[in-house]
Structure 1
Amino acid sequence: MALLELNEMCVHYGRIQALTDITLHVEEGEIVSLIGANGAGKTTTMRAISGIRPLSGGSVVFDGQDISKLRADLRVVRGISQSPEGRGVFPGMTVLENLEMGCYTRKDRKAIEEDFERVFDLFPRLAERKSQVGGTMSGGEQQMVAIGRALMARPRLLLLDEPSMGLAPQFIQQIFRIIKEINEQGTTVLLVEQNAQQALSRAHRGYVLETGRVVKTGTGAELLADPSIKEAYLGVA
Structure 2
Amino acid sequence: MLLELSDVTLEYGRIQALHGISLTVDQGEIVALIGANGAGKSTTMRAISGLRPVASGKIHFDGQDITKMRADLRVVRGVSQSPEGRGVFPGMTVRENLEMGAYTRKVRTEVDSDLQRVFGLFPRLKERERQSGGTLSGGEQQMLAVGRALMSRPKLLLLDEPSMGLAPKLIQQIFDIIVEINQQGTTVLLVEQNAQQALSRAHRAYVLETGRIVKEGSGSELLHDPAVKDAYLGVA
Q: CA deviation at 1:232?
A: 0.2
Letter in 2 for 1:138: S
Letter in 2 for 1:225: H
What is the aligned partner in structure 2 of residue 191 from structure 1? 190
Q: Secondary structure at the match of 2:153?
A: coil
The two structures have a TM-score, normalised by structure 1, of: 0.99
What is the aligned partner in structure 1 of residue 151 from structure 2? 152
Partner Cα distance (2:172, 2:220) in 1: 19
What is the aligned partner in structure 2 of residue 61 from structure 1? 60
Residue segments in structure 2 that go unaligned for 5+ positions in a row:
none
How many residues get paired? 236
For the aligned residue pairs, the C-alpha RMSD in angstroms reads: 0.4
Residue segments in structure 1 that go unaligned for 5+ positions in a row:
none
Partner Cα distance (1:137, 1:168) in 2: 15
What is the aligned partner in structure 2 of residue 207 from structure 1? 206
What is the aligned partner in structure 1 of residue 111 from structure 2? 112
Partner Cα distance (1:92, 1:60) in 2: 35
Partner Cα distance (2:89, 2:39) in 1: 28
What is the aligned partner in structure 2 of residue 219 from structure 1? 218
Letter in 1 for 2:33: L
Partner Cα distance (1:125, 1:114) in 2: 17
Q: CA deviation at 1:110?
A: 1.1
Partner Cα distance (1:109, 1:95) in 2: 18
| 1:24 paired to 2:18 | no
What is the aligned partner in structure 1 of residue 231 from structure 2? 232
Partner Cα distance (2:233, 2:26) in 1: 26
Partner Cα distance (1:132, 1:170) in 2: 23
Q: CA deviation at 1:64?
A: 1.0
What is the aligned partner in structure 1 of residue 161 from structure 2? 162
Q: CA deviation at 1:44?
A: 0.3
Q: Secondary structure at the match of 1:230?
A: helix
Partner Cα distance (1:167, 1:101) in 2: 24
Letter in 1 for 2:212: R
The two structures have a TM-score, normalised by structure 2, of: 1.00
Letter in 2 for 1:60: I
Deviations along 1:50-103, one digit per CA (max 9) or x if unpaired, are 000000000110011100000000000000000000000001111001001000
Letter in 2 for 1:178: I
Deviations along 1:15-51, one digit per CA (max 9) or x if unpaired, are 1000010000000000000000000000000000000
Partner Cα distance (2:156, 2:31) in 1: 11
| 1:75 paired to 2:74 | yes
What is the aligned partner in structure 2 of residue 132 from structure 1? 131
Deviations along 1:130-181, one digit per CA (max 9) or x if unpaired, are 0111111110000000000000000000000000000011110100000000
Give the 4+ runs in structure 1 shifted more than 2 A.
none
